[in-house]
Amino acid sequence: MKDNNAKYVLLGLLSHNPMTGYDIKKSVATRMSYFWDLSYGQIYPTLKDLEKNKLITKKVEQNEKGQNRKVYTITDAGTKELQEWLAKPARKEVHKYEFLLKLIFGDQADFELNLKHIEEFKARNQRILQTMKLFEENVKPILNQSEAHFYVLLTVLLGKSISKASVEWAEDALKLLREHSGGEVKT
């Protein structure tokens, strides 16, 4: 079977709770919003694939009201596969900062435009920072309830640190840019 990260995200999440594809999408979009993303185009085919290979099992919940929910549960083989993957070294981080792509060509644009890109980046990171602080507050009181919470906290703390550093950079960059553009050169 194909060996992509999506496979292990699903196994990992299902190792905590049985879930539907829709649940998984939501889970990734909240818990992992800072550092990962999965589309339905990855989730549903991968669920099929995992089931075919007996790493998870499907149970169709007959629901009178609404769509039938297909709830997936991890198997022992699935748990083993997950643990083997966890033992392998991680690949290096991948980043895409589209705004830096625009900023690095800032000499081709005018001052206000460059300011705007930085300000929008700052605003995005302020929102993320707030979210991370909220997550932190929510997880800290329930740390003792489950071993898994501790690891969620670690990931949240990285998101918090980086978004904070990003906001601080933005403030410095705005200052530097204003000096660079506005400041007359003194004798």
Partner DNA sequence: TCTGCTATATATCAAATTGATATATAATTT
Partner DNA sequence: AAATTATATATCAATTTGATATATAGCAGA
Which range binds DNA by CB under 7 A, 3-11, 80-88, 141-149, 151-159? 3-11
| Identified binder of its own copies from the candidate list 22, 23, 57, 103, rule CB under 8 A | 103
Any idea which residue has 């000096």 for tokens? 179
User: Shortest Cβ distance from residue 183 to its own copies (Å)?
Assistant: 12
Exposure string over 20-56, b if 16+ CB within 10 A, otherwise e: bbebbbebbeebbebeeebeeebbeebbebbbeeebb
> Residue type at 76?
D
* Contact in structure between 27 and 36 (CB atoms under 8 Å): no
Any idea which residue has 């060509």 for tokens? 105
Give the other-Cβ count within 10 Å of 128's Cβ.
Answer: 19
> Which 3 state secondary structure label does DSSP give 70?
strand
Rule CB under 8 A: is residue 169 a binding residue for its own copies?
Answer: yes
User: Shortest Cβ distance from residue 67 to its own copies (Å)?
Assistant: 29
User: Shortest Cβ distance from residue 159 to its own copies (Å)?
Assistant: 9
User: Across the strands, what pairs with 56?
Assistant: 74
Rule CB under 8 A: is residue 43 a binding residue for its own copies?
Answer: no
Q: Which parts of this chain interact with its own copies (CB under 8 A)?
A: 5, 8-9, 12, 15, 31-32, 34-37, 79, 82-83, 85-87, 89-109, 113-114, 116-117, 120-121, 124, 146-148, 150-152, 154-155, 157-158, 161-162, 164-166, 168-169, 172-173, 176-177, 180
